[in-house]
Structure 1
Amino acid sequence: MKRKSQASRLGVLALALTLVTTCLTGGTMAKYVTEVTGNAKATVAAWSFNADGIGTAENPIDLGSTANRTAYAAENIKDGVIAPGTSGSFNIVIDGSGSEVGVDYKLKIAAADGITLPDDLTFTTNDSGKDTAYTLGSDITNTIKYAADSNSMKKTITVKWTWDFGEGDAKDSNDNNYADNDWTLNITATGTQAKPIEATPAP
């Protein structure tokens, strides 16, 4: 009888342990789970850069056609050519319209390889309201600020040239070596996005 009683007790104990384990296991597996999803969105700023008036290999700027022809008598110089004593100008339009960022621009005018120009052929540029002496091969740099008005993102740079007339030139000091030559000037315009700068917080 004792053996049966002990066996019964062991059986009841095992059943109780099984029920307790099941409850505990079931309790650790029961939980609330919620997953929330969303989206992030970004529109990338548009970029556009162009330079009008710099000419092309097929249709270059002709300094002769930029000369102020009304300043010279027709009997003094042929139309469409330049010579000592002439001057002229042309415009280059830096165009950032269509961009949604500010534009840092760089403009450079340089004599093509193998081209030598007279020392008394001088240049000035004007992109800020006043003429500034310009050295061929140097960079003209400035920034066009972003503006919703596309016309505000255009900058006109006037390039003026003057070939001085040497009143005191003589046979050993003159511009004869440049007569009947063709000159080529290379014009390069580069636009780069202006680096965003954090605005200064209001006091």
Structure 2
Amino acid sequence: MSAAPTNVVRYDVPNGDFCAYLKGFWKRNLEWRHFGGSFKHLRSTNNVVLIEEDLDAARQPNTQCAASHSTVSSDVYSTYNALQLIARFLRWSFGRTHKKQDLASAYTVQFIPDEQGTFMEWSFEGVTCHGVFKPEASVAILNFCLQESMVTITYRVLDANTMAVCIVDVDSEHTPTIQYGNMYRINPSKYEREPED
């Protein structure tokens, strides 16, 4: 009798720092299907995602930044690097190209590291949303629990430049969908056209 095959394909995010891993330009390719029944194919989409530091958000009231500096005990300092204790903010923008004028800011996520992984919090359509990154599984889940809809996004880190993505979107007005695909890190300078002579 042979042992069950093991498929341990998991990329360890350096230092478990999901915030640092995410920064940059990404190309997101998704297949859309009905969520349920025959899971009928609806369409395919390609978008550019820019994830960048949002320094203005850190200065907003009710953020964890000031609290991180004032409430940290000496025990915590002995266990964690002081830089990891500071909450950081990343702005997520989406568009058809990598050009700034083609990107629309969607939301800013606050990343709050702790001994369990990284907790995430942001506001979308006036509702506070939450997520978590678990470094031992290299998986992040973002939950948008809105007034009349629920969106759950799962990111599985595959390597230094690739994530698998699955989005389940259910609301009261549209057909529920499941969207799945990959996100690939891109270098925007490679998309610039060379000037013609």
Same fold (TM > 0.5): no
Structure of higher RCO (CA pairs closer than 8 Å, 6+ residues apart): 1
Instruction: Output the TM-score relative to the length of structure 1.
Output: 0.22
Hey, which of these two has a bigger chunk of strand by percent?
2
| Larger-gyration structure (1/2) | 1
